[in-house]
Amino acid sequence: MPSRPRTYHSQNTGTSDLSNAAVQGMFQSRPFVMQPQATEKSEQQPDLKGSLMRAERYGHHLGQIQAASVSFPTAVQPKMGTGQPIQLVKSKISGNKKPKNPLGLKVDTRRVAGGYKNPPHEHGNMLPLYKDAALSPQPQNRKEKDWLMSPNRRFNTYTPTHTQPPKEVKGHENTVMGHAPDAVTHWNQTGHTQSRAANSQHNRETSSYHGLEDRASSDASGGATTERYRSPSPSIGSHESHYNVKHPNFNPKVPWKNRLRKPDGAGGWDKNVSYDPNKNKWI
Protein backbone atom coordinates (compact mmCIF):
# COMPACT_ATOMS: atom_id res chain seq x y z
CA MET A 1 0.00 0.00 0.00
CA PRO A 2 1.59 3.19 -1.04
CA SER A 3 2.43 5.49 1.84
CA ARG A 4 0.72 8.86 1.93
CA PRO A 5 2.69 11.82 2.86
CA ARG A 6 1.74 13.13 6.26
CA THR A 7 0.83 16.71 6.67
CA TYR A 8 1.53 18.26 10.05
CA HIS A 9 -0.61 21.17 11.07
CA SER A 10 1.02 23.38 13.67
CA GLN A 11 -1.08 23.74 16.74
CA ASN A 12 0.85 26.86 17.78
CA THR A 13 -0.30 29.14 15.00
CA GLY A 14 -2.79 30.97 17.11
CA THR A 15 -0.37 31.20 19.98
CA SER A 16 2.36 32.55 17.74
CA ASP A 17 0.08 35.20 16.34
CA LEU A 18 -0.93 36.27 19.82
CA SER A 19 2.69 36.36 20.97
CA ASN A 20 3.72 38.46 18.00
CA ALA A 21 0.83 40.77 18.55
CA ALA A 22 1.75 41.10 22.20
CA VAL A 23 5.37 41.83 21.40
CA GLN A 24 4.46 44.33 18.76
CA GLY A 25 2.03 45.93 21.10
CA MET A 26 4.75 46.51 23.63
CA PHE A 27 6.73 48.64 21.22
CA GLN A 28 3.90 50.48 19.56
CA SER A 29 3.41 54.18 20.43
CA ARG A 30 0.57 54.74 22.77
CA PRO A 31 -1.52 57.89 23.13
CA PHE A 32 -0.49 60.28 25.94
CA VAL A 33 -2.34 59.24 29.05
CA MET A 34 -3.01 62.88 30.15
CA GLN A 35 -4.62 63.80 26.85
CA PRO A 36 -8.19 63.21 28.03
CA GLN A 37 -7.57 65.51 31.04
CA ALA A 38 -6.10 68.25 28.84
CA THR A 39 -9.13 67.93 26.63
CA GLU A 40 -11.39 68.26 29.64
CA LYS A 41 -9.46 71.35 30.80
CA SER A 42 -9.72 72.98 27.40
CA GLU A 43 -13.40 72.20 27.36
CA GLN A 44 -13.85 73.77 30.81
CA GLN A 45 -12.03 77.04 30.06
CA PRO A 46 -14.74 78.54 27.82
CA ASP A 47 -17.30 77.74 30.52
CA LEU A 48 -15.23 79.46 33.22
CA LYS A 49 -14.57 82.49 31.02
CA GLY A 50 -18.20 82.68 30.15
CA SER A 51 -19.17 82.50 33.82
CA LEU A 52 -16.88 85.40 34.64
CA MET A 53 -18.28 87.44 31.77
CA ARG A 54 -21.81 86.76 32.93
CA ALA A 55 -20.89 87.67 36.51
CA GLU A 56 -19.39 91.01 35.43
CA ARG A 57 -22.49 91.67 33.34
CA TYR A 58 -24.59 91.55 36.50
CA GLY A 59 -22.30 93.80 38.48
CA HIS A 60 -20.03 91.23 40.14
CA HIS A 61 -16.26 91.52 39.85
CA LEU A 62 -13.28 89.76 41.42
CA GLY A 63 -11.94 93.11 42.58
CA GLN A 64 -14.91 93.40 44.93
CA ILE A 65 -13.99 90.27 46.85
CA GLN A 66 -12.51 91.14 50.26
CA ALA A 67 -10.18 88.98 52.30
CA ALA A 68 -11.68 87.50 55.41
CA SER A 69 -8.93 88.92 57.59
CA VAL A 70 -9.63 92.53 56.66
CA SER A 71 -11.67 94.15 59.40
CA PHE A 72 -11.49 97.81 58.39
CA PRO A 73 -14.64 99.63 57.34
CA THR A 74 -14.78 100.14 53.60
CA ALA A 75 -16.68 102.29 51.19
CA VAL A 76 -17.16 101.54 47.51
CA GLN A 77 -17.46 104.47 45.15
CA PRO A 78 -17.48 104.64 41.37
CA LYS A 79 -14.11 105.42 39.84
CA MET A 80 -14.24 108.67 37.91
CA GLY A 81 -14.07 108.31 34.16
CA THR A 82 -14.18 104.49 34.05
CA GLY A 83 -17.43 103.49 35.71
CA GLN A 84 -15.59 100.72 37.57
CA PRO A 85 -15.91 100.49 41.34
CA ILE A 86 -12.95 101.26 43.55
CA GLN A 87 -12.45 100.23 47.14
CA LEU A 88 -11.48 102.73 49.82
CA VAL A 89 -9.93 101.10 52.87
CA LYS A 90 -9.50 102.97 56.12
CA SER A 91 -5.91 102.40 57.19
CA LYS A 92 -4.55 102.27 60.70
CA ILE A 93 -2.53 105.17 62.11
CA SER A 94 0.87 104.16 63.35
CA GLY A 95 1.57 105.02 66.95
CA ASN A 96 5.15 105.96 66.04
CA LYS A 97 4.16 108.97 63.96
CA LYS A 98 4.90 112.34 65.50
CA PRO A 99 1.76 114.42 66.02
CA LYS A 100 1.43 117.70 64.20
CA ASN A 101 1.90 120.91 66.10
CA PRO A 102 -1.31 122.54 67.36
CA LEU A 103 -1.41 124.86 64.35
CA GLY A 104 -1.42 121.88 61.99
CA LEU A 105 1.81 122.88 60.22
CA LYS A 106 5.22 121.29 59.83
CA VAL A 107 7.51 123.06 62.26
CA ASP A 108 10.76 124.75 61.26
CA THR A 109 14.07 124.09 62.93
CA ARG A 110 15.04 126.65 65.56
CA ARG A 111 17.70 128.03 63.25
CA VAL A 112 15.27 128.57 60.37
CA ALA A 113 12.56 129.87 62.70
CA GLY A 114 15.00 132.45 64.01
CA GLY A 115 15.76 133.71 60.50
CA TYR A 116 19.15 132.08 59.89
CA LYS A 117 18.53 130.13 56.71
CA ASN A 118 21.68 130.59 54.64
CA PRO A 119 21.46 132.17 51.19
CA PRO A 120 22.67 130.12 48.20
CA HIS A 121 26.35 130.14 47.31
CA GLU A 122 25.71 132.13 44.13
CA HIS A 123 24.04 134.95 46.07
CA GLY A 124 25.59 138.28 45.17
CA ASN A 125 26.77 138.92 48.74
CA MET A 126 28.28 135.44 49.04
CA LEU A 127 30.36 135.48 45.84
CA PRO A 128 33.07 137.69 47.44
CA LEU A 129 33.70 134.89 49.98
CA TYR A 130 34.38 132.45 47.15
CA LYS A 131 36.45 134.91 45.16
CA ASP A 132 38.74 135.55 48.13
CA ALA A 133 39.15 131.81 48.73
CA ALA A 134 39.73 130.81 45.08
CA LEU A 135 43.21 129.39 44.37
CA SER A 136 43.37 130.45 40.70
CA PRO A 137 42.79 133.80 39.01
CA GLN A 138 39.63 134.49 37.05
CA PRO A 139 40.08 134.23 33.26
CA GLN A 140 39.13 137.36 31.36
CA ASN A 141 36.76 135.47 29.09
CA ARG A 142 34.65 133.99 31.92
CA LYS A 143 31.99 135.55 34.08
CA GLU A 144 32.72 135.63 37.78
CA LYS A 145 29.70 133.59 38.85
CA ASP A 146 30.27 130.81 36.29
CA TRP A 147 33.96 130.68 37.14
CA LEU A 148 33.43 130.46 40.91
CA MET A 149 30.58 127.95 40.71
CA SER A 150 32.52 125.57 38.45
CA PRO A 151 32.79 122.06 40.00
CA ASN A 152 36.54 122.15 39.21
CA ARG A 153 37.22 125.37 41.15
CA ARG A 154 39.51 124.96 44.15
CA PHE A 155 39.20 126.98 47.36
CA ASN A 156 41.00 127.47 50.63
CA THR A 157 38.79 126.62 53.61
CA TYR A 158 39.38 127.51 57.25
CA THR A 159 38.30 126.60 60.74
CA PRO A 160 36.06 129.12 62.54
CA THR A 161 39.03 130.44 64.54
CA HIS A 162 41.48 130.52 61.59
CA THR A 163 44.12 129.03 63.89
CA GLN A 164 44.91 126.07 61.63
CA PRO A 165 46.41 126.02 58.12
CA PRO A 166 43.85 126.27 55.32
CA LYS A 167 42.54 123.12 53.69
CA GLU A 168 42.17 122.93 49.91
CA VAL A 169 38.74 121.85 48.70
CA LYS A 170 37.53 121.23 45.15
CA GLY A 171 34.05 122.45 44.19
CA HIS A 172 31.85 124.98 45.97
CA GLU A 173 29.34 122.24 46.83
CA ASN A 174 31.96 120.82 49.22
CA THR A 175 32.15 124.07 51.18
CA VAL A 176 29.92 125.89 53.67
CA MET A 177 29.89 129.56 54.58
CA GLY A 178 31.18 130.03 58.11
CA HIS A 179 29.35 132.48 60.36
CA ALA A 180 31.20 134.94 62.58
CA PRO A 181 29.78 134.71 65.16
CA ASP A 182 27.90 131.49 64.58
CA ALA A 183 24.14 131.68 64.16
CA VAL A 184 23.19 130.24 67.56
CA THR A 185 25.44 132.71 69.40
CA HIS A 186 24.01 135.62 67.45
CA TRP A 187 20.44 134.46 68.23
CA ASN A 188 21.04 134.00 71.95
CA GLN A 189 22.78 137.36 72.28
CA THR A 190 20.92 139.57 69.79
CA GLY A 191 18.70 137.71 67.35
CA HIS A 192 15.83 136.86 69.70
CA THR A 193 15.47 140.57 70.55
CA GLN A 194 14.86 141.62 66.95
CA SER A 195 12.48 140.49 64.23
CA ARG A 196 12.97 137.46 62.06
CA ALA A 197 13.30 139.73 59.03
CA ALA A 198 16.19 141.56 60.71
CA ASN A 199 17.96 138.28 61.36
CA SER A 200 17.45 137.20 57.76
CA GLN A 201 19.01 140.44 56.56
CA HIS A 202 21.96 139.92 58.90
CA ASN A 203 22.38 136.40 57.50
CA ARG A 204 22.68 137.76 53.95
CA GLU A 205 25.49 140.22 54.72
CA THR A 206 29.03 139.33 53.62
CA SER A 207 30.41 140.61 56.92
CA SER A 208 28.39 137.97 58.83
CA TYR A 209 30.81 135.26 57.61
CA HIS A 210 34.50 134.71 58.32
CA GLY A 211 35.05 132.75 55.11
CA LEU A 212 34.58 129.22 53.76
CA GLU A 213 34.69 126.00 55.74
CA ASP A 214 35.16 122.42 54.59
CA ARG A 215 31.71 120.84 54.50
CA ALA A 216 32.88 117.38 55.61
CA SER A 217 34.79 118.77 58.60
CA SER A 218 31.93 121.07 59.54
CA ASP A 219 29.38 118.25 59.41
CA ALA A 220 31.62 115.95 61.43
CA SER A 221 32.14 118.52 64.18
CA GLY A 222 28.45 119.41 64.38
CA GLY A 223 29.34 123.10 64.55
CA ALA A 224 31.91 125.01 66.54
CA THR A 225 29.69 125.56 69.57
CA THR A 226 27.59 123.42 71.91
CA GLU A 227 25.10 126.23 72.54
CA ARG A 228 21.43 125.70 71.81
CA TYR A 229 18.86 128.18 70.53
CA ARG A 230 16.94 129.67 73.45
CA SER A 231 13.16 129.77 73.39
CA PRO A 232 11.97 133.36 73.08
CA SER A 233 10.10 134.84 76.01
CA PRO A 234 9.03 138.26 77.25
CA SER A 235 11.05 137.63 80.41
CA ILE A 236 14.34 137.73 78.46
CA GLY A 237 13.34 140.63 76.24
CA SER A 238 12.56 138.66 73.09
CA HIS A 239 10.86 140.32 70.16
CA GLU A 240 7.12 139.78 70.41
CA SER A 241 6.84 138.43 66.87
CA HIS A 242 8.71 135.26 67.93
CA TYR A 243 6.16 134.11 70.52
CA ASN A 244 2.91 136.10 70.25
CA VAL A 245 0.56 134.27 67.88
CA LYS A 246 -1.51 137.43 67.50
CA HIS A 247 1.45 139.43 66.18
CA PRO A 248 1.12 140.14 62.43
CA ASN A 249 4.65 138.85 61.76
CA PHE A 250 4.38 135.71 63.89
CA ASN A 251 5.64 132.57 62.16
CA PRO A 252 3.15 129.74 62.87
CA LYS A 253 5.82 127.10 62.16
CA VAL A 254 8.11 127.99 65.07
CA PRO A 255 9.14 124.95 67.14
CA TRP A 256 9.03 126.43 70.65
CA LYS A 257 5.96 125.50 72.68
CA ASN A 258 5.38 128.87 74.37
CA ARG A 259 4.04 130.21 71.07
CA LEU A 260 0.61 129.26 72.44
CA ARG A 261 0.96 131.35 75.59
CA LYS A 262 -0.10 134.94 76.06
CA PRO A 263 2.29 137.52 77.56
CA ASP A 264 0.98 139.29 80.63
CA GLY A 265 2.68 142.59 79.74
CA ALA A 266 5.00 142.41 82.75
CA GLY A 267 7.68 140.07 81.40
CA GLY A 268 5.78 136.83 82.00
CA TRP A 269 2.87 134.74 80.78
CA ASP A 270 -0.80 135.08 81.56
CA LYS A 271 -1.51 131.77 83.28
CA ASN A 272 -5.28 132.21 83.07
CA VAL A 273 -5.38 132.48 79.29
CA SER A 274 -4.61 129.88 76.63
CA TYR A 275 -4.73 129.95 72.86
CA ASP A 276 -7.16 127.87 70.81
CA PRO A 277 -5.61 127.27 67.36
CA ASN A 278 -8.92 126.03 65.94
CA LYS A 279 -10.70 129.27 66.85
CA ASN A 280 -7.53 131.37 66.44
CA LYS A 281 -8.18 133.29 69.62
CA TRP A 282 -7.35 133.40 73.30
CA ILE A 283 -9.74 131.58 75.63
Output the tens digit of pLDDT for each of the chain's 283 residues.
Answer: 455 555 544 444 444 444 454 445 555 555 544 554 544 444 444 566 566 566 555 555 554 454 444 444 444 455 455 555 545 444 444 444 444 444 455 678 999 999 999 999 999 999 999 999 999 999 999 999 999 999 999 999 999 889 999 999 999 999 999 999 999 999 999 999 999 999 999 999 999 999 999 999 888 776 555 688 998 988 889 999 998 877 889 888 888 866 566 677 776 767 666 666 566 566 5
**25 φ, ψ (degrees, to nearest 5):** -65, -25
Cα distance between residue 133 and residue 39, in whole Å: 83
CB 113 within 8 A of CB 239: no
Q: What is the pTM of this model?
A: 0.57
Cα distance between residue 254 and residue 231, in whole Å: 10
CB 76 within 8 A of CB 85: yes
